[in-house]
Structure 1
């Protein structure tokens, strides 16, 4: 079986680099070295055949034509002066079209460096774009050992840029992707987000986790929202993101939380895990502790345990289920006694809860039955009509409806067990449990009481 196809050179006068690229997965060498060696070998073979044919007086037209093909594709015709005396000119390679020319490469390097000068980054990646006609050519001449020209250009240009900038290429997590079309010399930057992960505590009621667009104008601004575009004036996202955007000079920020609490619910304890995604940052080296101090001065939100993250963290944080411990202040329509509260603790321990989507969120959530579990409940009587519950349960359980019953849509509920109408007057998240498998849960050690009620 013939592995090397020299016939392709009759239709396409490929330069040494491009001919060598057809067999890039064979022999550890550069494409130029490989292509030059293959042409040299063929030229030796053809010259030997031509000389022998001359001696024997037989036809060597086919060998001579292929020798001319080699010259048109860049082989040095001076080396063939004994057998080829025609004036044959080298033709332009239709595959690379001189995109590896030193002057062009230098021009692209200078343009890229100029675009990058305003950005703080450590790693980069070259994204090479090639015209459709080059893609079609590659399909036509493809071999099982071929490397795409975009792969070679990206690799070789990346090496040169790394030396110029003293930066490292990174295929998995580049800070910046330099997109280049070496044929048209178009260049643009893809500045990848900066991810910061940590935990937040929401110390006051009345603010949502993320920016809540006005339902009337959908964020455009109208009389209803006082032309702010927002239903609520501030959010945890905005309080946290503002100093990070200022420090990084990013264009925007996106807040990803491990679930979310209602607007009137506080997030206490050691906080809820979150990832802050900063879009197109110009500065990446920032002092996380200093920014945390600035956020915490606000008094409404605290952030802690900050560290730099990766893109996978935002997916992980949203897709990982977390059990939670809540503190709820319950108001009962009738007087309650200690015996009933002890019964409530017993009835809810390790109890499976069937919960239809609450009526209050039906406008934005699918109407289905969620099955969740309550693992442990601790109850403390406050007065004849109020008691405090510490509830350790699955994430995704609606606590307000666990208490009220939501007109029978949650079963069982505190109201159904006590046979009295109960409502949640105050609710706080005391803990978001990261790893229950390695964490021994004891809700007696999770404080409610004043820790839950003082604002």
Structure 2
């Protein structure tokens, strides 16, 4: 009797379609569509009053008979996504304010405890219709494409979720930043200083990898997420630096990673090289960027005045296993918080000489500033090699040779 009373009160507002009538009790039972539930409630009410069942005579005052057009909306979604390669999707909806107000008024006035929102039914019904017509699969967790229906304008907006792949890159040329830098003078707008390119540097690792990727995936952009970063004047050699590349809004997805790797290496022309290991996902990006991996470096050190190799090697060895206290270096103080960091030198050794300089290999904790470990940075890093030698010392070239990475698979 309680439900019958609620149904009568709902119908008193005006003509109500079976979808909306059933949806006001949508969470009360399972196994029926809202349309079936609404029709059942209307039939039960007619039988109880010993009257014939009557269909709603006019447009629904709640939704304006939106659900009569579900096949039309499914066709609009199919048309909007016809140029996009995908297998999973999710339908969404921008609820017109009037529909939201109508159903919320009934919920409040009649203290309905188990209604289903208009948005939920639209998403489900349109999703089912699209799936039935195309064979695409509805995925609530990680859809490749999300379509947003806008009943107010009759349009469909398409959001293409990113594609990710994991690999390692090597950088063989100094002077290339890891990611794109906007021109410092014009901040990317284009000016005489940057020859109206908007870029501080014409190329970056991100762009050398990303250009062929964008073309092959027919994407809008490619964003490189690296496991740390090397200085612009450093090479990244050895085992390479782990990275995840995010392909933004790709219209193609079924790309052979081996073919992609070959194309990147061809177009990068020896400046950068990649080894793509596997597909990845967004959740791995944060893990990669927060990974406190140890890093190994090979550096050339120049010292003031003549110094026997044995004396230099002995001084170097005194830093092994030592905790270094580093105030934010002057060279990065403009973009880093000014604080003192504690980092350990795990292993360090002089392995030879080259062009009048000493070759040193260093294995350090993540975040250890290698240049400042040598120079002392005017006392901001303690202890330092320069402090131990009691003479000026500085790094003339730096190569990163090893960075730990994630599980790389095949």
TM-score by length of 2: 0.90
Instruction: Structure 2: give runs of 5+ residues left out of the alignment.
Output: none
**Structure 1 residue aligned with 2:334, among 363, 370, 389?**
363
CA contact (8 A) 2:298 2:400 kept: yes
Higher relative contact order (CA 8 A, sep 6+): 2
Deviation for aligned residue 1:238: 1.2
**Structure 2 residue aligned with 1:123, among 81, 88, 100?**
88
Deviation for aligned residue 1:138: 2.6
Give the distance between the partners of 1:212 and 1:384, measured in 2 at CA.
Answer: 33
CA contact (8 A) 2:288 2:406 kept: no
Instruction: Structure 1: give runs of 5+ residues left out of the alignment.
Output: 48-66, 78-88, 437-455
**Structure 1 residue aligned with 2:49, among 28, 46, 50?**
46
Q: Does residue 290 in structure 1 map to residue 240 in structure 2?
A: no
Give the distance between the partners of 2:351 and 2:242, measured in 1 at CA.
Answer: 29
**Structure 2 residue aligned with 1:76, among 49, 54, 65?**
54
CA contact (8 A) 1:99 1:183 kept: no
Deviation for aligned residue 1:294: 2.2
Deviation for aligned residue 1:9: 2.3
CA contact (8 A) 1:250 1:279 kept: yes
Give the distance between the partners of 1:309 and 1:328, measured in 2 at CA.
Answer: 33
Give the distance between the partners of 2:382 and 2:131, measured in 1 at CA.
Answer: 62
Displaced runs of 4+ in structure 1, greater than 4 A?
Answer: none
Deviation for aligned residue 1:220: 2.1
Q: Give 2:59's aligned residue.
A: 92
Give the distance between the partners of 2:87 and 2:119, measured in 1 at CA.
Answer: 23
Q: Give 1:111's aligned residue.
A: 76
CA contact (8 A) 2:301 2:357 kept: yes
Q: Does residue 165 in structure 1 map to residue 134 in structure 2?
A: yes
SS in structure 1 at match of 2:261: helix
**Structure 2 residue aligned with 1:20, among 8, 22, 27?**
22
SS in structure 2 at match of 1:156: helix
Q: Deviations over 1:105-133 (max 9, x none)?
A: 23222222222111111111111111112
Q: 1:114 to 1:181 in 2, by over 3 A?
A: same
Q: 1:379 to 1:2 in 2, by over 3 A?
A: farther
SS in structure 1 at match of 2:337: coil
Q: 1:197 to 1:407 in 2, by over 3 A?
A: same
Within 5 Å, give how 1:300-449 maps onto structure 2: 300-334=271-305, 335-345=307-317, 347-382=318-353, 386-434=357-405
Give the distance between the partners of 2:209 and 2:355, measured in 1 at CA.
Answer: 41
Deviation for aligned residue 1:379: 2.2
Number of residue pairs matched by the alignment:
397
Deviation for aligned residue 1:98: 0.9
CA contact (8 A) 1:336 1:385 kept: no
Q: Does residue 269 in structure 1 map to residue 238 in structure 2?
A: yes
Give the distance between the partners of 1:208 and 1:112, measured in 2 at CA.
Answer: 41
TM-score by length of 1: 0.82
